[in-house]
Amino acid sequence: MRRILLVLAAAAAVVVAVAGAEPVLRQVTDVPTAVSWGVSDADALFCDSWRLSVETANAGPWRTVPARCGASVRAYMEGERYASDSAVAAAESLAFAAQALASGEGGAMPAWVFDVDETLLSNAPYYAVSGWGLQEFNETSFDAWVDVAKAPALPSSLKLYNELQGLGFHIILLTGRSELQRNATEDNLLFAGYNSWEKLILRRISDIGKTAVQYKSERRAAMEAEGFKILGNSGDQWSDLIGLPMATRSFKLPNPMYFIS
């Protein structure tokens, strides 16, 4: 009965809006229920909000996906939404890139920095068999997966990568993977369809113990010292993007499966 009333109320609101009699403001309820937001269950509602919190960095450091969100993260990653969110971010990236180059912002050496995992490459096949982030990160099993070197490309990133190369960008890959994983990483990038990157930068022994923010910031500073103008940076973690120097524009790709500080 309550549901029917809500539907009727919503229909009435639409009629009012269409008639233009008065502006219709959607009420924000104190205790949003799944039904009031048109979502079929409370977990889906909570987990959608949790995911937004993760993407906006409101969530801060976290170690595992909340237990009630396992199914939701899986559905997101396997469904159209992840592909769509990634593709829209890639389209925004390309629009900025073309405009920035056209206005001469890139100088002689315009560069674009890409992270690798969950940015150029998708580890979804690994996470599909290890709980979609419900379990804590297992370095042993993840490293074994890296050595297999068969992670597919994130399709929208491969497209953007090729488009940026076509525009004349220097493409620099900056990953938290270890220098010991260089061969496997190169093999995997080629397997996934990536070619002709300018540099692939991995963590050296001297980088062990640094946060991703510190390590990646230091490497971006080195790029600038070499004369690159970093117009864009694409990564699935805020730690790929923040810290000085930053790119002119940073593009955050979705990742509800894990957090790296």
Per CB under 6 A, residues contacting ligand NAG are 138, 140-141, 180, 183
Q: Got the DSSP string for 63-91?
A: SS--GGGHHHHHHHHHSHHHHHHHHHHHH
Query: What's the min distance (Å) between Cβ of 145 and ligand NAG?
Result: 9
Query: What's the min distance (Å) between Cβ of 180 and ligand NAG?
Result: 6
Query: What's the min distance (Å) between Cβ of 183 and ligand NAG?
Result: 4
Q: Which is nearer to ligand NAG, 140 or 206 (CB)?
A: 140
User: If we measure between CA atoms, which residue out of 247, 155, 142 comes closest to residue 185?
Assistant: 142
Query: What's the min distance (Å) between Cβ of 130 and ligand NAG?
Result: 8
Those residues with Cβ within 8 angstroms of residue 230's Cβ, 6 or more apart along the chain or in another chain: 111, 112, 113, 172, 220, 223, 224, 245, 246, 247, 248
Read off the tokens for 72: 């939701």
Q: Which is nearer to ligand NAG, 46 or 62 (CB)?
A: 62
Q: Is the peptide bond before 61 cis (omega within 30 degrees of 0)?
A: no
Q: Which is nearer to ligand NAG, 94 or 180 (CB)?
A: 180
- Alpha-carbon span 97 to 167, nearest angstrom: 8
Q: Which is nearer to ligand NAG, 78 or 179 (CB)?
A: 179
